[in-house]
Structure 1
Amino acid sequence: MTSPDPVRLRVWQALASLWLDTELQDHQLRWIAAELRASGLPREELEAIYLYEVAPLLWPNLWTPAGAWAGFDAAWLAAGCERNRQRRASRWHRGKCRLLRWLMTGATLGDWRQVQLLLDQEFH
């Protein structure tokens, strides 16, 4: 496997924070938004990365009694998100993600919306 794009890697790492088993503070949400903004990726692509690349890998963490709270192994995160990035072209993967959207992202939606609002503030 080739090394992932460093910009995308930073986006994955920032978004992964949404699935940690901890309550995120305002400064953490601002950091996530800043990392996403610094990527230079369009808003639609950031949303697709959230749903199709990061969520399918990390959602189980928030549905287990004692999920990871300090962070995810960087190599494991990169490998899993890269696999999901490659699967995005597949209708099956996109359909599965849309079908399971609430299950995969339900616990992160409040924080994700806050991050989106922060992004909107900077884009306008």
Structure 2
Amino acid sequence: MPASREAVWLALADLWLDTEITATTLDAIVCTLRDSGLPLAELEQIFYYEVAPVVWRNAWSVAGEWSGFDPQWLREECGRNQQRGRWHRGKCRLLRWPMTYACSEHWQQIRARLAQSGGAPL
């Protein structure tokens, strides 16, 4: 059974937690993304335009969330971002670096693993 979009949101949000990202964490995220059946291009849209705008401030916080984001809150916020249009996407492009600096290396590793496994179409 494919992972839902909500599962993708929850998995990607882990990249912004105030914890060390281990190989096990990356494996779990890759598995969820692969199981979603979504193409890599759509997963990137979710990463940049749906999840990052919701959780990025945690990476800039002195005492950020480390135990996990509230799933209901995350679903609601990411769902709103999914529905937003050009203005939101433009704002996200302008803020891409501050929103993703803390996890861009991990995102590249995830992308490479997905491409290697052939799990998510490019």
Q: TM-score range by the shorter chain?
A: over 0.9
Find 1:16's aligned residue among 9, 13, 16: 13
Identity percentage over the alignment? 55
**Matched residues, number:** 117
Q: CA deviation at 1:98?
A: 0.4
2:46 to 43, 46, 49: 49
State the TM-score, normalizing by the size of structure 2: 0.93
Runs of 4+ that moved beyond 4 A: none
TM-superposition CA deviations, 1:56-95 (whole Å, max 9, x none): 00000010100001100010000000010011xx111110
Unaligned 5+ runs, structure 2 = none
CA RMSD of aligned residues (A): 1.1
Write the mapping of 1:25-40 to structure 2, written as runs, cut at 5 A: 25-40=22-37
Partner of 1:60: 57
* Aligned match of 2:90: 95
**Alpha-carbon distance in structure 2 between the residues aligned to 1:30 and 1:116:** 12
Give the alignment's TM-score, normalised by structure 1: 0.91
Structure 1 unpaired stretches of 5+: 1-5
Give 2:101's aligned amino acid.
Answer: G
| 1:58 maps to amino acid | V
